[in-house]
Amino acid sequence: MQADRKEEDIFINRELSWLDFNRRVLVLGKDKAVPLAERMKFLAIYNSNLDEFFMVRVGSLQERANLHHGKKEQTEVKKDMTPAEQLAAIMPKTAELQADCDKYYARLLELLAESGYTKVNFDKLTKEEEHFWKKYFQSELLPILSPQIVDNRHPFPFLRNKEIYLGVLLKEKHSGEESLGIIPLSSQMERLCFVRKEEGTSFALTEELVYHYVSMVFSKETITEKCLFRVTRNADIDAKEGMMDHDIDYRQIMSELLKRRRKLAAVRLQVTPTAPASIVRILSEQLKLTRKRVFEQKSPLDLGFFYKLASRIESDGHPELFYPPARPMLPPQGYNLTKDVQQHDVLLYYPYQSIRPFISMLKEAAHDPEVISIKMTLYRMARESQIVQALIEAAENGKEVLALVELRARFDEQNNIDWSKQLEEAGCTVIYGFEDYKVHSKLTLITRRSSEGYSYITQIGTGNYNEKTSELYTDLSFITSDPGIGLEASNVFQDLAVQKLTEESDRMLVAPLRFKSVLLEEMDRVINAARLGRPASMILKNNSINDKDIIVKLEEASCAGVRIDMIVRGICCVRAGVPGRTENLHVRSLVGRYLEHARIYSFFDGEDTRIYIASGDFLTRNTECRVEVGVRVEDPALVKKLSDILDYQLRDNVNAREMRPDGSYQKVKPSEGERLINGQMGMYDLLRNDWNAPVQPAAPEAPAVEVPAPAAVPFVQEKLPAQPEAVPEQSAAAAATAEPEPVEQGSVSSAPAEAPRRRSWMERLLDLFGMGSN
């Protein structure tokens, strides 16, 4: 029992930790340093993240709780909470967050009105406005509404996931009989109506307009109660379930499961502007939801309309309400990544550096007569993917193209199904992930055959092959012609093709068999150095951590005197700064303009730094239940680049929040007179001369001073704090998948910047010895 108690002291429940992460996104909706239109988007991202959390995590917990109903429940490894106990803790915390969201929303409406954009209040219309909106309702909306009556003769209808409905309690004027009227709203009409006036622009939400005039729909009955409501349904489908009863194509199984997802059990009911007792009782009974799953709110049920409003504001010309444009930096004119990587390893950092050179390299390989094959793992792809088009071109040109398409990439399943069909039609060999393991790897292998024999170009990344998210997520892309890494990558693809897990590797990390074990070995090396009295340290940057083995090892390292800095964007299930336990462990979260998605693991034993990048986090799902890949970066220039990136983010005092021993987070504030360091936007300056940089020895410390903004990106101002990220890996459907991978959405307008001038050989040599002008 003592050991169990000890474990509990440093562990934080995964689901509650995720809610704390979404709180960090939410508070950016009230941050005065964030431009007004961007604050709107952060509220929308928060809302989308929470939808996915209920669809995936709460849905999964509910199923597990139902399985153990009436039995002794199995407890979680961490924090000793059963599924039912976790659900009981989630609901009040969600209600608390919703109350904050309502307040931030109301304040945003006030600020929008000051900027000339006023939301229509249907409770306070003038006679002229009443006439206008009534006429609009009668001519534009009333003809397309599809009201339904629920009574003894009409069954309760199926309510779609995340659809907005208007519910009314009706009383028949003559008989006094009561019935429920329901009108679906979301998918039938535009949600926003704009009216331009001399004094500014008014905007109205369609659901509120119908709510106001609903008596015209049910004119024969008396409306005694009414409300707008929205249902969230479980979306946690299991491909294994489909495999049990089918002897058909895997894509067809996934398509059937996607249809089934739409009808899974309800997990949440949202109601606004009030929660009428009679209507809520009927809905709760039909949806089989307890009262704790009903959330009354003052803000709209779906804040996604903020994106359209932001687009309208932008088109009207209000740049001061948005982030200044940020453009990925392009290499010098004539730059060729294929030729460059044959000279030395290359590391690209999105969105600061453009993904275009990588796409150009793929297209070049598709037409290169010496290229015999291209192999790639595909997890999330853009709707219009130049990367996939390059693979199709390669296949059509007679190259061997192998694409591993993971059909179980949550909420991207249909997109991946569609792409897999196109790849097959073009002549590509398409394979899928393991039955028991998702393939979350980001791995590309280009194989050449020339008179000198075979050669490889290998790319290993932290993010998806997705042009859109490369402009919104911070991700690393390592490209090398190292033959050893090429052979290891070739072995990985051979294993994937025959459904075999990779057991041996040297430079590469390959989960689940050669990922966590390697990182634990690195931690042991650092721990031993600390025990010998050397200044040992670790810097670990990823999205989330809940792996018990890693957390226990971090505690051991802290107790041995190892300085541990963790940059964890989302879920963090270990407490930092617990006396005698994790007092040498420091955790910070960066939530800003971009979604922090890169994974960097740096280990310093007092003499050498060994540093890795990887596709996998420190979640048990990544370390034990997925095929992930990573690589040890050895090029001194790239080790320094990664170390500088980590150092810069550890000095961030704009976006960062640090964990306190009780598990809460506190915003990092600069001391009086201290310069603002934006660990996101300052990267443009840090990397401005990175293209074709010479090999440099790793410095013991990263730059300690802020440098002025580069001419190529004049918008980078250290006094302008940057903001979060968002889902939808999750659309912002975004934020955390399995835990929302905030949404794959963002708020950045991206376009190529003018490339910096290529420095001369002499200038780079001077920089190498610290004598250059930069």
Q: Single out the residue of 606, 563, 584, 770 nearest to residue 700, CA to CA.
A: 606
365 close to 373: Cβ distance less than 8 angstroms:
no
Q: Say which residues have a Cβ less than 8 Å from residue 6's Cβ, sequence separation at least 6.
A: none
Q: Which two tokens stand for residue 422?
A: 């196109």
Separation of alpha carbons 325 and 211, rounded Å: 39
Q: Single out the residue of 173, 181, 145 nearest to residue 279, CA to CA.
A: 181
Q: Peptide bond before 325: cis, by omega within 30 degrees of 0?
A: no
Report DSSP state, residue 546: -
**Could you please report the per-residue DSSP string of 52-110?**
HHIIIIIHHHHHHHHHTTTSPPPPPSSTT--HHHHHHHHHHHHHHHHHHHHHHHHHHHH
- For the question of residue 174 being annotated catalytic, the response is no
Q: Characterize 591-624 residue by residue with b for buried, 16 or more Cβ atoms within 10 angstroms of its Cβ, and e for exposed.
A: bbbbbbbbbbbbbbbeeebbbbbbbbbbbbbbbe
Q: At what angle do helices 36-53 and 83-114 cross, to 10 degrees?
A: 160
Q: Are strands 563-568 and 537-542 parallel, antiparallel or unpaired?
A: parallel
Give the count of beta carbons closer than 10 Å to the beta carbon of residue 561.
17
Give the count of beta carbons closer than 10 Å to the beta carbon of residue 333.
8
Question: How far from 271 is each of 50, 277, 291, 335, CA to CA, in Å?
Answer: 15, 11, 12, 56
Q: Single out the residue of 691, 693, 686, 726 nearest to residue 710, CA to CA.
A: 686
Report DSSP state, residue 9: H
Spot the catalytic one: 212, 440, 586, 597.
440
Backbone angles phi, psi at 660, to 5 degrees: -100, 165
Handedness of CA 385, 386, 389, 391 (dihedral sign): negative
Question: How far from 240 is each of 244, 254, 407, 436, 511, CA to CA, in Å?
Answer: 7, 10, 13, 8, 21
Q: Single out the residue of 375, 665, 402, 624 nearest to residue 517, CA to CA.
A: 624
Q: Which residues are catalytic?
A: 440
